Structure 1
Amino acid sequence: MVANNIKTVRNDMKTLVKDAQDLLREASLASGDKADEMRARGLAMLETAMDKAHELQALALEKGKAAAHTTDEFVHEHPWKAVGIAAGIGLVLGMLISRR
């Protein structure tokens, strides 16, 4: 569910930014009241994109804190398993690095 929310927000942001860029390009070619209206709409779209970015950032921060809390609980409940897992990951990473 979280992955869907993140993808949706990311796609919405890309669409908003692209639309705002297109609108601002058109506004640069136009003049007068129409250009002012287009610029205002473009700025509103960019503001919406920023709001979506802040929403995505808050969601990522929340999920990161939850993952850190879960990991902390696991390490406190199973310290030797955690040491073994860390050693195994270190061994695999060491082997991969030494190959290069």
Structure 2
Amino acid sequence: MANQSTKNEDIDINQDVSLLADTLDDLLKSYGSKTQEEIDSARSKAESLLKETRAKLNGGGNRVTRVARDASLQVDEYVHDKPWHGVGIGAAVGIVIGALLASRR
């Protein structure tokens, strides 16, 4: 039940961010083709959406903590149930990171 509400909150935030991105995209496109009044209107709409989205993201700090805690509990349970799988996954991640670091040199 808690996972369902978390998924709904994630969808809401994704929709908010998508709407904000669309509005900002419209604002950027409008700079070359619209009047100053239309640009100001688009800018104020973008600023309003940005403030709302930031408030939702900052207010969702408890939700983010809850999701992180739930994920860590699931990982802990998985590693306790299948310790060799956890060792294999850790080794694979280590090899990938090592390869990425070696390729940067």
Provide TM-score, normalisation by structure 2: 0.54
CA contact (8 A) 2:26 2:42 kept: no
Distance 2:62 2:33 in 1: 37
Asked if 1:89 corresponds to 2:86, the answer is: yes
Asked if 1:32 corresponds to 2:28, the answer is: no
Q: What is the identity, as a one-letter code, of the residue corresponding to 1:93?
A: I
State the structure with more CA Rg: 1
Asked if 1:3 corresponds to 2:7, the answer is: yes
Counting matched residue pairs gives 88
Match of 1:43 among 40, 47, 51: 47
Percent of residue pairs identical = 14
Provide TM-score, normalisation by structure 1: 0.55
In structure 1, the residue corresponding to 2:29 is in which secondary structure?
helix
Superposition RMSD in Å:
3.6
Distance 2:35 2:46 in 1: 15
**Partner residue, 1:77:** none
